[in-house]
Structure 1
Amino acid sequence: MNEKRVPVITIDGPSGSGKGTICQLLAAKLGFHYLDSGALYRLLALAAKRHGVSLDNMESLAVLAAHMDISFKTRDNGNTPKVMLEGEDVSALIRSEGVGTNASVVAAYPEVRDALLQRQRAFAVSPGLVADGRDMGTVVFPDAIAKVFLTASSEERAQRRYKQLIDKGESVSLAALVERVQKRDERDMTRKVSPMVPATNAVMLDSSTLTIEEVLQKVVDVVAASGIQPPQ
């Protein structure tokens, strides 16, 4: 498997824990590739809606997951790669609350996870990979050289999402967001296949009261302990 030949760092955790930001910063710092595994499930949720595939139809969702036309295109300014679905930049569309909720639904299906497993592992190419998700360290890259499980309180994560949505000009209830975060956590942690749980050898980090810089430094320290040092 690719992850045995190429150094892989996994950062798992719930939505809003900051793992996406940390993964991107870490990948840039190390010169590694970056995998946003959650984007794959969001893409599937969006593709299902566009192709009229019911979220209850596990078999059709699995076929769509295996064959959907997706790609990630690097931006010239080094920011998050553009997420492409059938040739269209859907980077913003897949970040909506509705798509996120539906992504959590389709991610619970074993057939869908199996269909996307090899697509995720294919991202592990030289010089290395930083993988962001919920089961990166437990299922997708079990032999990763360093694993982190990043979390934060549900209230703090809802507050972060609330600020993002307000900044976008969207009207949203903070109380409703807290409830949505808690329900998604429960669904992700209790699904039968690949539940969101820390790998037994993952380092646990709580970002509730930490700045992005403080979290990044802690993760860099974990990675350094595994033998990977950022280039000088």
Structure 2
Amino acid sequence: MKKIVIAIDGYSACGKSSTAREVASALGYTYIDTGAMYRAVTLYFQQNHVSLSNEKDIAKAVANIEVSFVLNAEKGSFDTYLNGLNVEKEIRQMYISESVSQVSRIRAVRDAMVAQQRRLGKKKGVVMDGRDIGTVVFPEAELKIFMLADMHVRAERRQKELLEKGQMVNFDEIMDNLEMRDTIDTTRQESPLKQAKDAIVVNTTFLLLEEQIDEIVNLALGRILQESPESSRS
């Protein structure tokens, strides 16, 4: 059966990563968390004191960054590695969330990460989530999803996610962070967040995670069947 590329774009805290991860698992596909890639770059910039206004520093830094994903057998999911080191826990910290949108809008950063993302997805059989997957990274993806949800619901989900990781963050601070990221993501010059013309909108405001997963898996199976050689011969 033919493998396809599934591109899932949308706003922060809509359930993109959790849904994409489980959709990949259900289909036996590779999950690529592009948001984690930009978080890893943000961590590298902070650890190495890279100035966001110094183009030479940025160019030198991105040339030394390699992000990969390694299966964590204990968790049954992929951890993010930055230059061979597991940074999965650190990149989920709030201080990274507060800076990642500023880093990810830099053209040199996006060019470097998009090149890595395209290499990772070259053989297809991938589920990739982010902001510009269906519009820039894989505009030819066979299935494009655009996820959105009510702002308060998104903030509640993010706060719950942080609490599960032992991080206590004020609800208003989370709301402010999401609003800031939405503004930056949708108005940035390089690869702004927007819905691809052929994307299917999935509003997760009133959907349980399991319902989100089922909806996208069913869409994917329909598209895989449509793309398979057996289907074209019938």
Query: CA distance change for structure 1 residues 54 and 202 in 2, over 3 Å: closer, same or farther?
Result: same
Q: Which residue of 1 aligns with 2:31?
A: 34
8 Å CA contact retained: 2:186, 2:194: yes
Q: Which runs of 5+ in 2 are unaligned?
A: 227-234
What is the one-letter code of the residue matched to 1:221? Answer: N
2:91 matched residue in structure 1: 94
Structure 2 distance, partners of 1:9, 1:87, is: 27
1:186 is matched with: 183
> Do the aligned partners of 2:143 and 2:199 also contact (CA within 8 Å) in 1?
yes
How many pairs does the alignment contain? Answer: 225
Residues 9, 228 of structure 1: alpha-carbon distance in 2 compared, 3 angstrom cutoff? farther
Distance 1:213 1:177 in 2: 24
Structure 2 residue identity aligned to 1:217:
D
- After superposition, the C-alpha distances for 1:160-202 in whole angstroms (9 at most, x for unaligned) are 1111223333332111211211111011001011100111100
Aligned to 1:18: 15
Q: Give the superposed CA RMSD.
A: 1.9
Alignment partner of 1:82 is 2:93: no
Q: 1:79 to 1:138 in 2, by over 3 A?
A: same
Partner-residue secondary structure (3-state), 1:226: helix
Q: After the TM superposition, which residues 1-232 of structure 1 pair with which residues of structure 2 at under 5 Å, given as runs?
A: 7-77=4-74, 79-126=76-123, 128-228=125-225
Identity of matched residues, % = 35
Structure 1: which 5+ residue stretches go unaligned?
none
Shift of residue 127, structure 1, vs aligned partner: 5.6
Q: 1:224 Cα shift?
A: 2.6
2:99 match: secondary structure: helix
- TM-fit CA distance, 1:68: 1.1
CA offset digits 1:88-138 (Å, max 9, x no partner): 211000001111221111111122111222111011144611111000000
The farther-off stretch of 216-225 and 28-37 is 216-225
